[in-house]
Amino acid sequence: MRYSVGIDDHDSPIAGCTTHFSTILINYFIKNNIKLLDYPYLIRLNPNIPWKTRGNAAIKFSIEFNGTKKELADIIWEKSIDYVKNVSKGLEYNRKPGVAVIDYEKSDNLYNLYLKAVSDIIPRDLVIKYSEKIGAELRGYRGVIGSLAAIGFRGPITYELLTYRKRENWNRKREIDISSVKAFDELFFPKVFANMDYIKKKPLIISHGNDPVFYGIRGLDPNILIKGLETIKTNEKLDMAMIFKSNQATDVHIIKTGNRVYQTIKDSCIVDDIKVIRGGDVIIKCLNSATLICYKETGELNLATKNLMHGDIIEFVGSIKPSLEFGEIIEIERIHINSLVNSKFANPRCPKCNGSTESLGKNKGFRCKKCGNKFLGNKMIIRIPRNLSLGIYQARYYRHLTKPLFLEDLDNSFKYEYIMDFYIIYNSINNILYSN
């Protein structure tokens, strides 16, 4: 029988990770001759939900298993409980692991649930309803939301290769040879991306904290990611690695936008006023009373918003968050400048002394502030030099789902790629890891 499995919420703030648990599980299945039908999938869901640990990731994979859905769900759940008790300590930190198993052929029926999970907040009850309709086996708590939703994934894909550390190293500082990351990135960009921050001269691939991930590399071709595993040098021997298909870098969170808190919004704004606040974040007030914030960390996007002016027209993409000061605030990740104010009316200069002038009221003329001369005249039009151009500005550090600008042609790129079978890639990974 063929089944699709979803897994979520197996991590904790101090240890473990859902992808790590899934890699252990997949290794177990493969060792026991239970066949994977495709690559496993690393699926990012709504990036704005407050109770995620890091990047709101869930895992989906499909297998051929000689038994019932219930038997499969029980086997996985027993391993889940072991992991959250003994590895991630998730239960102590109020994590709520979940597992979902459905018939493989029914995965497509969950597409709407998946889209909703990327775009909105889903109550657990709705997931229970879907699961009854579709005959899913669910185990666990809140994690069943991400688990069942991830199974419904369909759409453009990228790949991520994740490497894992041996347990005795989880508390040690990660050290990586930066020149090896740079060499890999330079050779394969843009088929690999988000590896190096060339402005801060730092690799972006390293995980932080005590979780088991050492680094993750992202790209369009699994064969190239394998080359990364060969080239990138770390100071410790890695324990495991896995390659996932993913919805990362595909802009799926913008397919179905909304206007409620914790949704992603796409809208337009006529700029009323901008204010740079302490720390360098920029507050943009729109004429329709929406308030946008552009954090300093967004780099070029933040610099661009500092130069916006009253009357400029932009489209923006951002996350709606609650705010004590503004009620709601929109954290922007991308803007498209549609129109820039590049001229304005100004009082004429004084014809006698060229001093600046003030208006005496409608049709009453002007008075020179310097020599007091009063005269009749018209306002003049002056050009405003702008340090901005029309078009897109995007945050320097991409959120997981945000499509980098250079991947605009993403959908087309897959039409000509020949993608290796999962097992060839899986065996290559393990040959590289365990050959020396």
Residues of this chain that interact with ligand ATP (CB under 6 A) are 8-9, 11, 17-18, 45-46, 49, 51-57, 95-96, 98, 117, 120-122, 142-143, 145-146
Q: Which residues contact 410 (CB under 8 A, 6 or more apart)?
A: 156, 158, 220, 249, 250, 403
Shortest Å distance, C-beta 128 to ligand ATP: 13
Q: What is the torsional sign of CA 20, 110, 257, 128?
A: negative
Which one, 216 or 271, has the nearer CB to ligand ATP? 216
Shortest Å distance, C-beta 46 to ligand ATP: 4
Which one, 162 or 350, has the nearer CB to ligand ATP? 162
Phi, psi of 398 (to 5 degrees): -75, 140
Peptide bond before residue 222 is cis, with ω within 30 degrees of 0: no
Q: Give CA–CA dist 316/264, Å, rounded.
A: 10
Shortest Å distance, C-beta 15 to ligand ATP: 10
Tokens 């590895």 -> residue: 87
Shortest Å distance, C-beta 139 to ligand ATP: 13
By beta carbon distance, the residue nearest ligand ATP is 146
Shortest Å distance, C-beta 44 to ligand ATP: 8
- Report CA 76 to chain centroid distance, whole Å: 28
Shortest Å distance, C-beta 56 to ligand ATP: 5
Shortest Å distance, C-beta 116 to ligand ATP: 7
Which one, 55 or 327, has the nearer CB to ligand ATP? 55
Which one, 9 or 160, has the nearer CB to ligand ATP? 9
Which one, 51 or 198, has the nearer CB to ligand ATP? 51
Shortest Å distance, C-beta 45 to ligand ATP: 4
Q: Which residues contact 336 (CB under 8 A, 6 or more apart)?
A: 314, 315, 316, 391, 392
Which one, 73 or 284, has the nearer CB to ligand ATP? 73
Q: Smallest Cα–Cα separation from 230: which of 436, 42, 21?
A: 436
Classified as helix, coil or strand, 359 is strand
Which one, 313 or 401, has the nearer CB to ligand ATP? 401
Which one, 54 or 89, has the nearer CB to ligand ATP? 54
Measure Cα distances from 237 to 178, 195, 218, 356 in Å. 17, 20, 21, 72
Q: If you count them, how many residues does the chain have? A: 436
DSSP class per residue in 248-291: TTS-GGGTS--SSTTSEEEEEEEEEEEEE-GGG-EEEEETTS-E
Q: Give CA–CA dist 436/224, Å, rounded.
A: 21
Which one, 221 or 251, has the nearer CB to ligand ATP? 251
Shortest Å distance, C-beta 106 to ligand ATP: 19
Measure Cα distances from 156 to 9, 152, 159, 327 in Å. 24, 13, 11, 36
Q: Give CA–CA dist 273/35, Å, rounded.
A: 59
